[in-house]
Structures are given as structure tokens and as C-alpha cells.
Amino acid sequence: MLACAPTATAQENPFERGPDPTERSIEAPRGPFATATTTVARGGVQGFGGGTIYYPTDTSEGTFGAVAISPGFTESQSAISWYGQRLASQGFVVFTIDTNGIFDFPDQRGDQLLAALDYLTTHSTVADRIDADRLGVLGHSMGGGGSLSAVDERTELQAAIPLAPWHLNQNWSGVDVPTMIIGGETDFIAPVDTHAEPFYQSLPSSLDKAYLEMKGKGHFVTNSPNTVIAKFAISWLKRFIDNDTRYERFLCPAPSPDAEISEYRDTCPH
């Protein structure tokens, strides 16, 4: 599948991809890169349940950073599929995965995210498009807990975005990877006061970290296209996977609460 978009321009920073960003460009449903997809069959991989790779078709600017994304408890990759083309069109290779089992717990999902990144960078058909030193993880619910497990285990990753994360572990003081946690104010499955907020608080104070809480939204707010979530997720990944300081202004200074955001915390400046 191919989606047409304007050609992106080269930048001076070797990791920058695409034209100078604007509020409009990062809030748009599609970014400057045309994208394509390829399916990875469950039976053709080990360590996770297969998935779908979304990637930019234009390689004129060089290789791209990459992210793997895990769904939550009982979910398939369809629950987080909207991130695929949204992020790929901004200049990332994106792997939305299925887990080995829909009842897998967070630490298992963390291991599967790492297995997916290993496959993506070494055996996938798009491995030559990826800079294996610029990788990140996302995940919803138990997949969000899995993304915390993944960066706790593999400290060389560049970014993590746990989405409405669920995990029995409340202490993530060992994480050394820039992490943005996104939660829903009215989440009753992974309530923010017992999950997302204490997870954020437990992250080292010296770490580049952020906490975004969606006003009046529940556990599944992250599972369908959302302009606010996309804006901050794109900016976070660009800032830390691509080291692209052009996106710093969308993160710092931290936004004030408004009709969409009930709370936002950040360790600005990064």
C-alpha cells in the first residue's frame, strides 16, 4: 500500500528528517513522507507474534530511526495501528506487533518489543532503511508496561512512550531512556493515580521525561487517532530518536492545562 505525500527536504543535522516542523505539520493526519507497508507473518519470526511494518519510501535523506509498538491485554495490533502510518509519514520506520499471546503480561511484552526491534534491524526487508542506533518503543496498557520493561532492560534505546501503562511494578528508578507517559484522567483499568503518575514519579529526576494526561478520557483514548497525542508523541520521538532540536519548542515550555489536557509535567529544558 502506498500513500502519496510531498517530498521531504534534507537537513543539516545528520539525523534530521523532513522539512522544518510547524504546529500544522505535526498535527496533520499525514506527514511529509510517502509510506508503504509490509506484513510480517507470525510463523516467520521468533520471540513475538508478527505484525505490520510502516516505512517511508524515500531514502534520499538516509536511514531512519525506528519504533516497535505493542498492543495491550487481549488486544491485537489493530488497537495501535493508527500510529503506523502517522509516525512513518513523519520519518520513522514503525513496527506494530502482535504478541505471542493476547494474555501475555507486561514483562513478556517488553521482551517481545525487543525481539521485534532485533528482527526489524537485522532480518526485515527494510533493515537497510534503519539506523539501528536510533530505536524506541511504545505500547498500550500492558504493552505500555512492557515498553517500560523494555527500556529498563535495554538502556541503549533512545525513547519510550508508555500509553495508559499497566504494570505491577511501581518503581522505574533504573530507567535511563527518555520517557513520555500518556494517561487518561478517567482511566479505571489502569488508573493514573496508581499507574501512570507513580510510574512517572519513580523515573529518575535527572531523566528527560514527561507526563501527559488527557482530560476526561479513559483507558482507550490512545487507541484511536488523536491530534494531541500524535503531536506530543511525534515531537518526543523526533527530539530523542533523531536528536532533532527543531521539535523542542513543541515540548518546552510545558503546555498549560486546557480543554484537552488535564495535566502535563516535564523536565524542561531537555
Among 208, 212, 176, CA closest to 197: 212
What was the pLDDT predicted at 13?
A: 80
pLDDT in tens, 222-257: 999 999 999 999 999 999 999 999 999 999 999 999
What was the pLDDT predicted at 78?
A: 97
Which parts of the chain register pLDDT below 50?
1-11
What was the pLDDT predicted at 1?
A: 42
What was the pLDDT predicted at 2?
A: 43
Distances (CA, A) of 78 to 41, 74, 223, 254: 15, 11, 9, 31
What was the pLDDT predicted at 10?
A: 43
Strand-pair partners of 183: 213
What was the pLDDT predicted at 185?
A: 98
What was the pLDDT predicted at 6?
A: 40
State the CB neighbour count (10 A cutoff) for residue 4. Answer: 8
pLDDT in tens, 133-174: 999 999 999 999 999 999 999 999 999 999 999 999 999 999
What was the pLDDT predicted at 215?
A: 98
What was the pLDDT predicted at 70?
A: 98
Residues taking part in catalysis:
141, 187, 219
* Neighbouring residues of 220: CB distance < 8 A, sequence distance ≥ 6: 164, 184
Cell of 202: 519513580
What was the pLDDT predicted at 14?
A: 86
Angle value at C-alpha 39, between 33 and 41, nearest 5 degrees: 155
